[in-house]
Structure 1
Amino acid sequence: MEQGAAPVGGRAALGVLRRLRRGCLVGSALALVPVSAFAQIGLPFLNDPRAFSSAEMIGFSIVVGLFSASLLSALWLVRQKSNIEAEGEEMRSVLADAQQRISRYEALIADKNRRIVVWEGHSGKADILGQLPAETGAPTSDRDFLAFGRWLKSNSAIDLERALESLRVDARSFDIVVETQRGEILEVQGRVSGGRAFARFVALNNLRADLAELKIEKNRLMSSISAFEALLNSIEQPVWRRDADGKLIWVNHAYGEAVEALSPEQATGEQREILGTVDRATIKARATDVSPYHGTVSTVIHGNRAFLDVVDAKSADGSCGMALDVSQIEAVREELSRTLKSHADTLDHLATPVAIFDGARHLQFYNQAFAQLWELDTPFLESHPDNSQLLDRLRSEKKLPEQLNWRTWKEQALAVYRSLDTHTDLWHLPNGQILRVIMSAHPQGGATWVFENMTEQVDLETRYNTLLRVQGETIDHLSEGVAVFGPDGRLKLSNPAFRALWGITEEVAKPGAHIQAIESACSASYDKTDGWKTFGRMITSFDDERPSLQGTMELYSGLVLDYAVIPLSNAQTMLTFVNMTDSVRAERALTEKNEALQKADELKNDFVQHVSYELRSPLTNIIGFTDLLKTPAIGPVNERQAQYIDHISTSSAVLLTIVNDILDLATVDAGIMHLNHEDIDLDDLLDDVSLQMTDRLQEGNVTLDISSPARLGHLVADQQRLKQILIKILTNAVNFAPDGTAVELKCWREGVDFVFTVADHGCGIPDEQLASVFERFSSNPRGGKRSGAGLGLSIVKSFVGLHNGDVTIDSKTGEGTLVTCRIPSAVETPSIAAAE
């Protein structure tokens, strides 16, 4: 049995060795087995040395080998653990360096002057890093940023989309400049690296932005030049450009065809000229920077004589010109000239007066009968006068009948130029003739006037008398008094208003009465030192120049008359009298009222200056003594006395505030409020206002949130009044703000203006009261912690107006109130400006 057990033990040992080779952990475990455990597995030599055989010797050797292997494995594991820990420490150090490097790269990418868009593959989602400045107008959100059409100009957005498509599909790099909706310039660079597409948007500095704008302007100008060249190449008129030496540098296709060139390039290369040498020299001599050359030039085109209407403009680096073929027009003009000459010869032999006017209403033809009818001199007719000018001259020479409204009559006569029908009219001439005027318009413009004599002298006198009667009826119905005297001082006509104003009868003022009789009848109504004696001298004067006269007379009856002496034709004189009694009385009443208001204003100013001292001084004493009673040096006071003192102090302060507000408003109304303009540091002003509002905020259990840029700068204004504006608005907001809420004060600059808003979350202002919030003694007692006199916002409105600013209120019931105020900086240097 023992001999058979040895191999079994040997196989068992070999199996243990195999297991030790497969895992060192088994050897480590065996190394921890106590020696007594070997005795239990059939190794009695450990207990009894005498029981020792060869098989047992082999088993012992195997056990010793296993134990040695276990020790070696344990040592190897300890060494490996140390190496693994060293490698782990090294990996952690490398990872920390990599993370630090990634943070540094992200900080560089996140610069506010650039933004990078990365696409993973053709259809991958875009990753966006960094930000662009807010003034560029670029959206901050990734989705809105990729919608380029919303914040870039249309042409820039189209170019960018095309460039990005080529970058992602064909891996084609690009460098372009785009323009935002706000007019800011961005540089966009597209690159491909490692299978990723990168687009970097960079906000340019001033120099690079100017260069980019110049590039954009260059592209725009090149596009415009190309469009103009395409347009000029499409027209049939020859167009050319020359340099400073007169050489052709560009021509269109029509020019090339005119000089029989295969292309415009051949025409410029061979310097083929469409104009002769003399014509080119004439154009160069006459064309200036202010006035281009414009004239007709004769030349040869395709072997035929042609007439060109040439326009040539001079520029800084040369000139440019254009030619219009007017050969057919010149031929038609010559034929028309021959036809008109033939017709003129025919019409000149007619006895009927005829005049022909062109489309510009200038006289182009007249026959001898026309000149004899109107007795016009030849130089005037040959000057081709305008039709309107001709009628005005005939009227000034009294060759046309007098019209009640000359302008309307003339416009009706000249309406033939705007009509296709023939007009016929009867003209009653002052010389006794009645002309039938036939006015026929030409289809191409202009008109022909034909005059026929249709009446005798008797008919003309009848119509003339009728016209005089109409004029007499018109004068009789005027409200102004009118009297017309002849050069002999006798009355020609008068109207009822004249007789009523002066209180004379129709018998006294009958036609033919002498002015002395009129003067005697009117002498009882006015002061004789002046008046009708002056009228008599002017009416009967023999001076060549008869002046006019205007003035005012006051009658004993209280009437005030405005008179005018107007010289008429035929040495006649017209007197007019207008009753101005009501106007004079109203003027006198207004003058007296104005004097009374000025005196009242002076009394008000004196009152304001007196009360300003008499009211403030007692209140200041009350507040001072109240504060003195609170000090321990006066002596102890009980709790009720302390409460009474606090009430007195609070009420006195409120009363002083109301008095100051009333006096400020009275000072503004009196026009004696002065603004002490000075240079104000707005940041210091806000700090001072927030400090003064501390007690009021604590009392109302409200906080003040001030939002403003880092540096608001300076403002030229009245610091005391500006501080009052802020405190009044903030106090009003704190009064209506609920407990535990915040009043928001936002300040910013718009140019040189200082703008701020004050918002609360109180009960708001009803719509029916919103229109009257700036009125005096207007207050909203509902929802406020204190009820005031309603003067705060009135003072704000007045002080803002003195600074030439404006203030508005936006409020909704239950949603709070927002007050917006704008204070412009004074233009003048710090000085004292008086309120008007």
Structure 2
Amino acid sequence: MGVGRAAHVRICVGALTLTAASAALAELPETATTHAPREMHGVAALAIFGGLVAFAVILSLLHLYERARWTRRERELAGALDVLRGAHDRAEMLLNAERQVIVTWDRRSEPVVEGDISLAIYGERPTSGYARRVLAFGTWLVASDAAAVEAAVETLRARGTSFSLSLRTQTGRSIDAHGQAVAGRALLRLRETSQERCEIADLRATLDETRRGLSALAGLLDAIPQPVWRRNRDGGLSWVNAAYAAAVEAETREAALDGGVELFDRPAREAIIRDEAARAAGLTRTVPRLSAVVAGSRRMLDVFETTLDSGRVGIAIDVSELESVRADLQRQMNANVRTLDQLPTAVAMFDVSQRLIFHNAAYRQLWDLDQAFLDSRPSDGEILDHLRAERKLEEQADFRGWKHGVLAAYRAAEANQSWWYLPDGRTLRVVADPNPQGGLTYLFDDVSDSLNAETRYIALRRLQAETLDTLAEPVAVFGADGRMTLANRAFCTVWRLDPATVEERPHVDAVIAACRSLAPAEEPWLDIRDAVVGLESRTAQSCRLEVVDGTVLDCAAQPLPEGATLLTLIDVTASVNVERALTEKNDALEKAAQLRDTFVHHVSYELRSPLTNIIGFTQLLGDETVGALNDRQREYSDHIMRSSAALLVIINDILDLASIDAGSLELQREEVDVQTTIEAALRGIEDRLAESHITLALDVPEDIGSVHADGKRIRQILFNLLSNAVGFSDAGQRVEVRARREAQELILSVRDHGRGMPPEIADSVFNRFESHTLGTRHRGVGLGLSIVRSFVELHGGRVLLETAPGAGTQVTCIFPLFPFDGLQREHPERRPATTPTVIAARKPGLAVH
């Protein structure tokens, strides 16, 4: 195109030059031309004409050339326009292929927004003005993302800095924003990626879950004690767990892998491969157990190995103990079979398919069955049919329904008992007990003899009842369970009991409640109750009952065999006067007892001074101030010291009781810190706790505060309670000390988990010189609880005793937080009861929190 334009210019220049030359010749002076020949004029005219013609021809040619060139150019531009239109259509198709918006800025014109503008106006109908709303990022993006994209767009338009952001719309959709400079223009692309992000998030979550699962599985396999390994396709080890490395005695798993240390030898590994192939084919396992050296010892292992795409994985389970337990179980089962074979009760066991799997000799003899028939493992239904055919079962109107009911025991959850009456007169008690693993166990007990004996027993009882009814004296018999089994007519008449009530076998407590209205004295009834239901002793007892009508009855309780008790009553009204004549003698005896107590008090006081001297000189000997002692002498000195200290405590207790009885003991009241006082009492018992291996549990709140009381007596109370609790506790048990403030009262309790006390002992433990060992080595003079009760009552408090045989004992001391002395002097009627409350019906296992 450049060469054609140059030739065109040269032609135009030549034509213009020729035209100019012709014009110059025409303008020559006439004087000059007159001298030229006329021929020159013709030539010039001809040259001018030729130049014009040439110019016209050149112009025509140039016009034709340019027209052809512009026509060709027009065709080229039309083709280029078609190409651009196609590219534009393809760009629009790609732009609309997904939800996206493209915004373009140049330096002078307004931004151009193209694409799916509903991206920014989600849920609204688009209008002509919504295209610009795309750039109002704050109206459809969250505030932080809107600010970020606006700043990035500003930087892109100012400096051409590219950016890529992940944005979140106000409706929760995800948008990717990408900005860059293209051909001097700023271009922003907004594309919705909610679906892609959800898919990516799901894939990422799945990947994380898979990784966690693989990590957990790897950790589990590395933590279990069973060796686990993985082999590659060549059969070499590619991974082992820590148990495998320990089994082959490798320092680390890597050492086991690097050395290729195998747990099994080659024949065993080949057997494992064959076993895996057999299991894959559904055949029976060929390698039930393998022997291997695990950590230096020979063990029996159960090996499982399976083939995967990447190789094989396996695990070895140590079943050495299982084999030993299985052998022991087999021996035990054989012993049980031998034992059951010796039982007179017929036993038959059926499996879950109702087929006989075991029977003892008594079963075979009971039904007289052939051994060959039993060895064929017949079903339960077949045995019933066989017994019916042999006429060994009672005839049933609907045998099929009866049989269905018998076999229903296989579906029962609990044991079922029934009675079978055989044609030969025997009676069987049949127990069908479902087995935990399925199936049923039958127990056939021939109770014919026991039923006959029961019949004779009932007849004998009727004979005895008729015999007793003829007696004039009231007679009653109580069974081992404390229920009345027999009472004659005289007994019912004296106590006005309904014979129908006696037939219901009332308990001794119910009988006492019915009779107490006629004889209100409580102590005789307690003796009668103890004689009937007491477990401590089975000796004859007697008591006296005074009826409200003046009748006096002597009651005698005589133990009978098998735990029964015979109760007989005799009218002794006539001899009561004689008994009352002995009252003076009883008074004299009481005075003698009082003199005894006085004598003990005086003796204790006189013993205190020499005992103090003994303790002092013993301490001097023990301190070796007068010379060194050998081991035997030191042992004697310690023994003298401990015995003297124990005797001094007893003497002090006796003197304290004497002072209390005389009314001369006064409390030294002060503000006593409860927690400090408890800790001081505990220090005095620490050695006994250690010697007896008894644990002490202390439950005292830090804010328990103080109480206005005699601190020395409080410590003495706690020391006596702790000594008593330790004395009646066995090694390994626990003694609990608890303190609480409730309703203007301080509650201190000491509880042991020893043997506990029966009611008859619990009623007298607070009496002086009452001591009971209850089967323990603890033996005292019986003053500890008396001291406790006396000191608590001096403080205006009360004592509660909770105990039961086998459930331990808890003693609770309740002190008023206010001083009691003034209240006692001003209002004697408001003084608390001095009798300790005994709660002997506490349930075993009561815990103190």
The two structures have a TM-score, normalised by structure 1, of 0.31
Bigger relative contact order (CA 8 A; separation at least 6): 1
- Which of 1 and 2 has greater Rg? 2
The two structures have a TM-score, normalised by structure 2, of 0.30
